[in-house]
Amino acid sequence: MTIVRQLAEGDRARVAHLQQQAFMLPPERIAIAGNYPLEQGWVVEDGGTVHGSLRVQKLGQFFGGRAVPCAAVSSVKVASEARGRGYGGALLREVLETLREEGVAVSSLFPVHGGVYRRYGWEFAFAHQRRALPISELAWRPPTDAAGVTVEPFEEDDLEAVSAFYRSRAAGENGPFDRDEAWWEERVLAPRFGRTPYRYVARAGGEVCGYMVYTHEPSSGTLPYGFDLDCRDFYWDGPAALAALLDFVRGHAGMGQRLVWPGPPADPIELVLTGIAPTVTRRMAGMFRLVDVPAALAARGYPEDVEADLRLWIEDDVLPANAGPIAVRIVDGRARVSGPGRDGSPAGPASRAARSAARVDVRVLAALFTGQLDADTAARAGLLPGVDADTRRTLRAAFAGPAPWMAEFY
């Protein structure tokens, strides 16, 4: 009998074994399976044997300037000998239903196989992208005066101020996580592949105006012992802060070969550089799921100048509580939502207005919600059949904003 349940202390060794079998990870990442809180872990067992597991971390994810309650799903794996028996699907479905009951509105993950997660309602809807540039080519447009900005080591007691600065920058984007201290410590600041990150903070008048967290990674060049400065985080506010941080990086010229950093799809750094253009070294497409459609729409922020009404019929073949008619009133940057699941129950008999609502699959709505997909583009691809031009215009206005991305690949 297949049972999906939360992680127990006695499961840790088995889960660590599955982690090692499924992913080529360094020892410190494998060891995390033996240390993270039990409430974050889920397993699927049959006949007393754990055949698969995953991890869920709850935190906010910024959309439209507001943090939406999110479940970051990672480390999804099934034992090699047990694949193809439906264990992974059973695990994902049960976890989704429980997360919805617990008040989680959305979920994000990075897939190995997108089709598996699409089957359970996730859709490609944001990106993690990294660029690289030779340090010798770091030149930018004058006039940029970095006077008054210092770059200093980022000490333990700086985390609160740096975290607040990160939040002030991330809240203006779509997709970044509203990180808690545990996420910072494990996902941003912890050693990885045996390398402890270096970290520096830029200050102006004593206030944080930028920071970078990076490791030295082997360079592909011919110089013995040469390295790339590979950033996990690279955030700044204003040209003086950017100039000070790039000056700091230029100080590594010689042994330092390239600067590699994560950034948004339209990175303003590209607009200020005067040498060769950076190259995209990696782009990973992330997937996103609306776990509770009404809660997600109500939690998100919207452009202040948009005043609109939407009537949609949500189609969700995995979470029936999401399915049915929904009414959304957007005004003053917020949404009032009524429809299925708002009171914890599925939709009742459809009214005439509900029957005329635009039908939208929950996967397509996820990509619209993040800003990854434009409604007109979706219509041209056949993803919004029957949705009229007025509704598409409203969807475009409601979900307008920066292209979605996040700095971390987790």
Structure confidence by residue, pLDDT tens digits, 247-263: 999 999 999 999 999 99
Predicted pLDDT at 346: 43
Predicted pLDDT at 275: 87
What's the CA gap between 151 and 157, in Å, rounded?
16
Structure confidence by residue, pLDDT tens digits, 180-194: 999 999 999 999 888
Structure confidence by residue, pLDDT tens digits, 109-152: 999 999 999 999 999 999 999 999 999 999 888 656 778 999 99
What's the CA gap between 263 and 80, in Å, rounded?
35
Structure confidence by residue, pLDDT tens digits, 323-332: 999 999 999 9
pLDDT at 349 exceeding the cut of 50: no
| Residue written as token pair 């990106």 | 127
SS (H, E, C) 253-274: ECCEEEEEEECCCCCCHHHHEC
Mean predicted lDDT score pLDDT of the chain? 93
Pairing between β-strand 66-78 and β-strand 49-63 as defined by DSSP bridges: antiparallel
What's the CA gap between 59 and 57, in Å, rounded?
7
Predicted pLDDT at 356: 63
Q: Which pLDDT band holds residue 196 (cuts at 50, 70, 90)? A: very high
Structure confidence by residue, pLDDT tens digits, 221-239: 778 889 999 999 999 999 9
Predicted pLDDT at 33: 67
Predicted pLDDT at 373: 97
Angle 48-50-51 from CA coordinates, rounded to 5°? 125
Structure confidence by residue, pLDDT tens digits, 357-376: 899 999 999 999 999 999 99
pLDDT at 335 exceeding the cut of 80: yes
Q: Which pLDDT band holds residue 31 (cuts at 50, 70, 90)? A: confident
Predicted pLDDT at 53: 97
For the chain, percent of residues with pLDDT exceeding 70: 95
Predicted pLDDT at 121: 98
Peptide bond into 143 cis (omega under 30): yes
For the chain, percent of residues with pLDDT exceeding 90: 87
Structure confidence by residue, pLDDT tens digits, 200-221: 999 999 999 999 999 999 998 7
Q: Which pLDDT band holds residue 352 (cuts at 50, 70, 90)? A: very low
Domains and CATH numbers, the chain: 2-109 (3.40.630.30), 129-286 (3.40.630.30), 292-398 (3.30.1050.10)
Q: Which pLDDT band holds residue 63 (cuts at 50, 70, 90)? A: very high
Predicted pLDDT at 29: 75
